[in-house]
Amino acid sequence: MPLPAILDVDTGVDDALAIVFASASPELELRGITCVAGNTELPDVVDNTSALLTMLGRTDVPLAVGAVRPLLRAPVGRDNAIRHGGHGRGYAGLPPTGAKPIAADASQLIIDEARACDGELTLIATGPLTNVAIAARREPRLPELVRQLVVMGGAFRCPGNITPVAEFNIQADAEAAKIVFDAFRGCPRRPLVLGLDVTYQVRLESSSIEEIASRAGDAITVAPGSEAWGAPGTPLVAYLVDALRYYADWHLDAYGFYGSFMHDPLTVAVALDPTLVTTSAVAVDVECRGELTTGQTVVDWDGVWDIEPNVDVALGIDTRRALEQVVERVGAATAHAAAVHPDA
């Protein structure tokens, strides 16, 4: 039976790959996609997500609008936009946004689906945890109603990417992350959290990107400094190629390689196949007041707090299988889009 799931996103470039991956995974029954401000401002997140669902032929998936800003701290705004392009889609323009948001807001959809699925819902979060925190506050039974929460966030034994010690999703709304990790303490299945420790180990580089496009019949050449990688035949491949081209420019500048980490599609892959990672059950809390350390995921590796573990932290990942699955699933979606929109 397919896993009923909700994907909570701040659709930037890697979130787009996560949405495409999820839409091409028959093991997932996508019960909704919920939007949260993060990589870019909320209207862009909603527009990007709507356009992707439209291009994927998945306007059947309920799209819900969520938090426009973190619970307490100042909105990220466009500060993070430099990483994903001004509107969270790199160099891509905005394709038609056919999928219209439902009336219920994100936290209400999460609560409604958790109640309806009665313990079977997988909640996958690839942005700041604001929507999940609001849902947990509105429905205190959420941790029992959710089969498992799978999160992209944190830097547990590695440096941060937004401050020296904090990862973007957690730091963007540290209070929300703290609320979520506290709320899910003691639930039947600990949240499975992929931090930078594992997402930094898998890179989408030229040959993989060219392979994804080739599944749609598009021959592109991924090369630094190029004005365009080719002329994709479908809106979906054109969007992904232009978004990834910006992301590759940014990764070349920030990390020295021309390609993309895949924080978010890896999180969907692991939600479907937890054997991709090795984990450690640990007690985790989130720093919310540190002048230098706010957003840090603090781990009690040696049990000095003497409290039960509340998170399964991913520490190792099968990089070969993980990359294969992303190329396979995203490639399947681009091939399908080409079939659905042959004359696009």
Interface residue with ligand RIB, options 4, 32, 127, 265 (CB under 6 A):
127
Regarding 160 and contact with ligand RIB (CB under 6 A), the answer is no
Nearest residue (CB) to ligand RIB, 107 versus 161: 161
Q: How is residue 224 annotated by DSSP?
A: T
Residue list 54-113, contact with ligand RIB (CB under 6 A): none
Point out which span in 114-122, 161-169, 297-305, 330-338 binds ligand RIB (CB under 6 A).
Answer: 161-169
112, 167, 218, 287: residue in contact with ligand RIB (rule CB under 6 A): 167
Known active-site residue 263: yes
The one catalytic residue in 84, 87, 263, 336 is 263
126 is a contact residue toward ligand RIB (CB under 6 A): yes
Choose between 190 and 263: whose C-beta lies nearer to ligand RIB.
Answer: 263
Helix orientation angle between 42-55 and 235-255, rounded to the nearest 10 degrees: 130
265 lies in the binding site for ligand RIB (CB under 6 A)? no
The secondary structure of 257-291 as a DSSP string is: SSEEE-HHHHHHHHHH-GGGEEEEEE-EEE--S-T
13, 39, 107, 144, 237 from 35: Cα distances, Å:
14, 11, 10, 23, 22
170 with 38: CB under 8 angstroms? no
Q: Is 263 one of the binding residues for ligand RIB (CB under 6 A)? A: yes
Residue 209 to residues 41, 220, 246, 263, 270, Cα–Cα distance (Å): 27, 9, 13, 16, 20
- Residue 161's binding partner, choosing from Ca ion, ligand RIB, none, with beta-carbon cut-off 5 to 8 A by kind? ligand RIB
Q: Please report whether residue 32 would count as binding ligand RIB according to CB under 6 A.
A: no
Q: Is 217 left (phi over 0), alpha (psi -120 to 50) or beta?
A: left
Q: Which does 168 bind (CB under 5 to 8 A by kind): Ca ion, ligand RIB, none?
A: ligand RIB
The phi, psi pair for 5, rounded to 5°, reads -145, 150
Residue 177 or 216: the one with the smaller Cβ distance to ligand RIB is 177
CA distance 240 to 234: 10
Distance CA 317, CA 328 (A): 17
Give the DSSP per-residue string, 289-308.
S-TTTTT-EEE-TT-TT---
Window contacting ligand RIB (CB under 6 A); options: 8-16, 101-109, 111-119, 324-332: 8-16
Which residue of 4, 12, 85, 191 would you call a contact of ligand RIB, by CB under 6 A?
A: 12
**178-188 burial by CB neighbour count: b if 16+ within 10 A, else e?**
bbbbbbbbebe
How many residues are given for the chain?
344
- How many Å apart are CA 290 and CA 11, to the nearest integer? 28
- Per CB under 5 A, residues contacting Ca ion are 10, 15, 126-127, 264
Instruction: Report the partner that residue 167 touches, choosing among ligand RIB, Ca ion, none (CB closer than 5 to 8 A by kind).
Output: ligand RIB
Count of alpha carbons within 13 angstroms of residue 19, beta-carbon side: 33
Per CB under 6 A, contacts with ligand RIB among 318-337 are none
Choices 129-137, 162-170, 209-217, 246-254 (CB under 6 A): range interacting with ligand RIB: 162-170
Closer of 78 and 341 to ligand RIB (Cβ): 78
Q: Which is nearer to ligand RIB, 234 or 296 (CB)?
A: 296
Q: Which residues are catalytic?
A: 263
Return residues touching ligand RIB (CB under 6 A): 10, 12, 14-15, 38-39, 126-127, 152, 161, 167-169, 263-264
